[in-house]
Amino acid sequence: MDGDGTGSSGWTRALPARAGRRTNLALLGLLLVAGGTGVLGFAVGTPTAGRVIAVAHGAAGLGLLLLLPWKTVVVRRARRRPAVLRAPSAAWWSTGLVAVVLVSGVLHSAGAAGIWATSGTPVAALQVHVGATIVLVVVLVAHVWGRHQRPRPTDLDRRVLVRTGALAAGSLALWGAGEAVWRATGTPGADRRDTGSLERGTDEPTAMPVTQWASDTVPQSVGTDVQVVAGGRSERVAVADLAGQDTVRALLDCTGGWYATQDWGGTTLARLFTDRFGADVLTDAGHSIEVTSVTGYRRRIPVRDATTTLLATSAAGRPLSVGHGAPVRLVAPDRRGVWWVKWVTKVELVESPWWLQPPFPLQ
C-alpha cells in the first residue's frame, strides 16, 4: 500500500518513502474486517454464509503479514521519538497483541486442541485468540484516539484502489496457501467445518466438550418440568412427556470452535404448542418463541422454525448429561451454539419478533 512521501530508487529506499499514513490505514482496515467477521462468525451457522465469513476472517488476518515490511519501517521511525523511548506506547502493545492473535488463530486453523495447560486443563487456541482480540480492541481505541486522519481525495484514486485490490488478492492467496498446507500435511485443521470449527464427538455425546457461553455456568439444580406459555395460558409439561416424540439429526456448531452431529430426541416446538393450545397458535409470523434457561440465559426463535427446532432430552439415543443441558436443551439447526439454550425451564410465545434481542446473549 502507498503512503506519504516521495519515491526513491531501490527496494530498501522505497519502503521508508512509502511506509506511512496509508500503511496504517490499510492495517486498520484489515483489523476492522477481521474483527467484524469474527464477531459475525459467532452468530452465523449456515454453511454458505459461514464459509464466506470464515474465509474473509482468515484472509484479513493473514493479510496483516503482507504489510509487515512497511509497518516495521513505521515502528522504527516511532522508536526515534523520545516519548516512545521513555515508555511503551499503545503501538507496541497493539503490535504484540496482533502477533498473539495471529499465532493463536493459525494454531486453531491447524487443529491445535490447546496451547498450554493449567492444572491439567488445556487452554484452547481459539480462547486465546478471542481473549487477545478483546484486549487488542481496547488498545487500538487508545492508539487511534486523538490521531484524527481526515479523508483525502487521493485515498480513492485509481492507484490506491488497485493496490487495495492487490492486497485483498494477496490476502486470499495467503489464506489459500495455508489451507493447502493443512491438507498436504494431514493436520486436523484440514477437516474444519465451513465456520472454522473442528469435529468433536459426532454420534458420541460423551466426547463433546462441555462449554458455556460467557458467564453462564452449569446450575446446581434443575427442574423436572418445563413451563409452556401462549396467549396468557400456561401449562407445565413433565420432562418425561417430551421424550421420544420427535427426532432431529442436527449439527451443533459451538462458538468454542468445535462441532458435532447427533440424533437428538425430544419434541419439536411446533408439537409442544399445537398439542396444548391448538393448531392456530403459531400462525402469526410476527411472533417468536422465547426459550429460557434456569440460569436466566434466553434466546428467541422465529415461529417459522418451530417445526425443526427441538426441545431435546437425549442425544444418540442416550439421556443428556447435565453438562450438555439435561434434562432439556434446545436444538436449533443451522444456528450457532449460542442459540442452543441448555437447562430449559420456560418456553413462551411472545409478540415481539425474533430479531428484537441482543445479537449475543447477555447472560
pLDDT for res 88: 52
- Residue 223: CB partners within 8 Å, gap ≥ 6? 294, 327, 345
Lowest pLDDT segment from 160-164, 227-231, 303-307, 313-317: 160-164
Task: Calculate the alpha carbon distances from 142 to 89, 149, 246 in Å.
Answer: 10, 15, 53
pLDDT for res 8: 40
pLDDT for res 87: 44
Q: How many residues does the chain have?
A: 363
Please state the rounded mean pLDDT for residues 328-344.
Answer: 95
Choose which CATH entry (3.40.640.10, 3.40.50.920, 3.90.420.10, 3.40.50.720) describes domain 199-350. 3.90.420.10
C-alpha cell at 256: 468454542
Distance CA 266, CA 253 (A): 19
pLDDT for res 2: 42
Between residues 42 and 347, which one has the greater pLDDT?
Answer: 347
Q: What are residue 118's DSSP bridge partners?
A: 121
Q: What are residue 96's DSSP bridge partners?
A: none
Round the average pLDDT of the chain to a whole number and report it.
84
DSSP code string of 31-91: HHHHHHHHHHHHHB-SHHHHHHHHHHHHHHHHHHHHTHHHHHHHHHHHHTSHHHHHS--HH
Please state the rounded mean pLDDT for residues 1-22.
Answer: 49
DSSP state of 289: E
Chain segment 182-197, per-residue pLDDT in tens: 889 888 888 888 888 8
Nearest CA-CA partner of 312 in 261, 266, 243? 266
For residue 321, what pLDDT band results from cuts at 50, 70 and 90? very high
Please state the rounded mean pLDDT for residues 273-295.
Answer: 93
Is residue 316 pLDDT above 80, yes or no?
yes
pLDDT for res 290: 97
pLDDT for res 118: 46
What is the enclosing helix (H) or strand (E) of 274?
helix 269-277
Is residue 359 pLDDT above 90, yes or no?
no
Distance CA 3, CA 17 (A): 7
pLDDT for res 318: 95
Chain segment 42-86, per-residue pLDDT in tens: 888 777 888 899 899 999 999 998 888 877 776 676 666 555 444
Between residues 291 and 86, which one has the greater pLDDT?
Answer: 291
| CB 289 within 8 Å of CB 349 | yes
Between residues 247 and 124, which one has the greater pLDDT?
Answer: 247
pLDDT for res 90: 65
- Residue 265 C-alpha from the chain's centroid: 27
Phi first, then psi, for residue 4 (nearest 5°) are -80, 155
Please report the beta strands in the chain, taking only residues with DSSP state E, as ranges in sequence order: 116-118, 121-123, 198-199, 225-230, 233-238, 246-253, 258-268, 288-293, 298-302, 310-315, 318-319, 329-331, 344-350
| CB 108 within 8 Å of CB 58 | no
Percent of residues, the chain, with pLDDT higher than 70: 84
DSSP state of 356: S
For residue 130, what pLDDT band results from cuts at 50, 70 and 90? confident
Three-class secondary structure of residue 210 per DSSP? coil
Is residue 32 pLDDT above 70, yes or no?
yes
Nearest CA-CA partner of 164 in 28, 53, 282? 28
Is residue 122 pLDDT above 80, yes or no?
no
Is residue 287 pLDDT above 60, yes or no?
yes
228 burial level (CB within 10 Å; 0-12, 13-18, 19+)? buried
Residue with the three cell numbers 409452556: 228
DSSP state of 44: B
pLDDT for res 3: 42
pLDDT for res 155: 66
Distance CA 132, CA 271 (A): 44
Is residue 18 pLDDT above 80, yes or no?
no
- Enumerate the domain spans of the chain: 11-196, 199-350
Nearest CA-CA partner of 185 in 102, 72, 109? 109
Distance CA 99, CA 132 (A): 10
pLDDT for res 282: 93
Lowest pLDDT segment from 103-112, 115-124, 213-222, 225-234: 115-124
- Residue 274 C-alpha from the chain's centroid: 34
